[in-house]
Structure 1
């Protein structure tokens, strides 16, 4: 077959009075010669559509967008692109949930990709807000949709991503809820005597994330040098508790342990050894620092329940496990630790995250520093 130049076309008037522009091109993927017709009320209308298609071909885009529905595409994207990616299992589950609950249902999910416009996405965002979803959730849904449509562009299903023309929903960075030192002590006092006390105290003094603390194994703790190595995070995925590597290189970090926390862990290890001896054959050894009565890792939901119970008894409504992490960071900053060091201790991927969340504390420290200097320079 003679080689055709990509994008030959012709225009003709049809018997019914409308006009047809026919484009003949070579499909880059298969090498097959294909034809695509464009119809208009005038020859100029039909020719304009054909010229637009030629421009798409020149950029490597499909001649026309596919008519697959948003719902069908999202399922295909999850089953292929996302499944083949290195994303965490928990992230893949989150994508599936957000798409299934908020994007795939009609009316948006019934739209075909070739008909999705930026205004359709704007309307989707408005509907999500009308449902009473938090702005952070709306933003997350938007980001997942944009990723899915990016995949459609990559696969040549559509020429451009309509979400790229929509401004991402923004959220105001909420001031991190934290407890004063006396309140943390009151909460821990209520947890004393439970199997969760050592875990909660360690989070309160090191700023560990809940999943990071639950993923700790004894080989990641050096009691002689007083150091703790963060090597993973534990979460529930697919009905199972799994440990995955830290999301970023900065999350994989080493934290110093104060003497009191070294003593805490020494006592905790002794108690665990005694518990293992009592359990005998029922014990399942995995090396975790914080376990159930049979050696298995603690369920994050049970930890949250224990914290909520202790907080309620201490009269601290609204506190959660993350509150202890925020409280540690706030205490460090108020004590004069520079924000870069705090960011490193927390394992934040970017110091700007730390500054956004704890900027109000930095302002308080700065004001105190000004007042101190002013006092020193008073005549």
Structure 2
């Protein structure tokens, strides 16, 4: 068995650096040991992990393979496990899905040391043209690769990052579609009397995110004060549903509700209690506002699919579920609600995000602005 130890190295900038020294077993012919060295710029834990890998490689082959001889897929897995231990479960699941489906099939079997800029560029081009992947999605998986290779450079596994110089497809800003007054009226008419009605009213009157609706519980509603407390967001991490706090403090907010929504929620709460009593042990007492008949909740993706099916069946204009949130914002804007209040109600941490709502303004609002400026200047 090989032996090894770690020696801390002094550095001018004071950053941690360690020298790894590993000795192989004696050669049966020469009777000599081989000694291997490696420098790790990072934490002691990183140095210990690298030392363990060096010893395993020496014991397995009698001569160490350079870490850069690892396959890219193996390095990506190690990067995720060792260097990103504290990222959220949802973020990790997204990274794993991207790397597994969009990176490894193209470059995963290539040795890390053999990755060239031209190969990365071809991969980016293939994602964009052959797979027709959206520019933002291409950029996301590219950034995962770049970060992993940056770490490989820092650990002296490769001399430079082959992502340098790669051209990404140009990002195209998505222009959200919204419903105007007539389309909102049709939407409400089509949903009234169905299990979609409360869900849609929550979307277009409060502008909630789908995960916020999926996580909304009866304990979040203060019927006496007509306030809904938004404190949770339901997300998917791999195949697991997770309820967590919003990404930013701005996402935690109290929303005052009008009389119509108050009545709808009161009636739904009575139905919840009635179903709970009628179904007995078959009822899942989830405490969720938007639920299935047996009390079981919906995943955010299920709500999206539910919306798409309903929209198609009833011949409604094709817009994303998230665009109902923009519809709410546009309706508030049209009603004269200040952007600052809209920001608070939507849970935007940055008002610039809210101000972008103006790019979704309706033609009628544009005409109204023209009429008003004409009246002010030329009356």
TM-score (norm 2): 0.76
Superposed, which structure 2 residues align to 1:1-379 within 5 Å?
28-30=17-19, 32=21, 66-82=68-84, 84-87=85-88, 89-106=89-106, 108-131=107-130, 132-166=132-166, 169-356=169-356, 358-361=358-361, 365=365, 368-369=368-369, 371-379=371-379
After TM superposition, give the deviation of residue 295 of structure 1 in Å: 1.9
* Alignment partners' CA distance in 1, 2:353 and 2:162: 29
Call closer, same or farther: CA 1:360–1:296 in 2, change over 3 Å.
closer
Q: What is the deviation of 1:191?
A: 2.4
Contact 1:333/1:362 (CA < 8 Å) preserved in 2?
no
Displacement of 1:211 in angstroms is: 0.9
Which residue of structure 2 lines up, in the alignment, with residue 45 of structure 1? none
**CA 268–169 in structure 1, closer or farther in 2 if over 3 Å, else same:** same
Question: Structure 1 residue 73: deviation in Å?
Answer: 0.8
How far apart, in 1, do the equivalents of 2:334 and 2:174 lie?
A: 19
**Offset from partner CA, 1:182-240 (integer Å, 9 cap, x none):** 21232232223333321221111111011111101122222222222221211333433
Corresponding residue SS for 1:173: coil
Greater shift, 120-129 or 167-176, is seen at 167-176
Cα distance change of structure 1 residues 122 and 238 upon mapping to structure 2, 3 Å threshold: closer
Q: Tell me, in whole angstroms, the C-alpha distance in 2 between the residues paired with 1:187 and 1:217.
A: 25
* SS in structure 2 at match of 1:30: strand
TM-score (norm 1): 0.76
Q: Report the number of matched residues.
A: 332
Q: Which moved more, 1:306-315 or 1:96-105?
A: 306-315
User: Secondary structure, in 3 states, of the residue corresponding to 2:173?
Assistant: coil
Q: Distance in 2 between matches of 1:148 and 1:349?
A: 29
- Kindly provide the CA deviation profile for residues 306-343 of structure 1, in whole angstroms up to 9, marking residues without a partner as x: 32233224322423322211211121223333434333
Gaps of 5+ in 2: 1-6, 11-15, 24-38, 43-49, 51-65
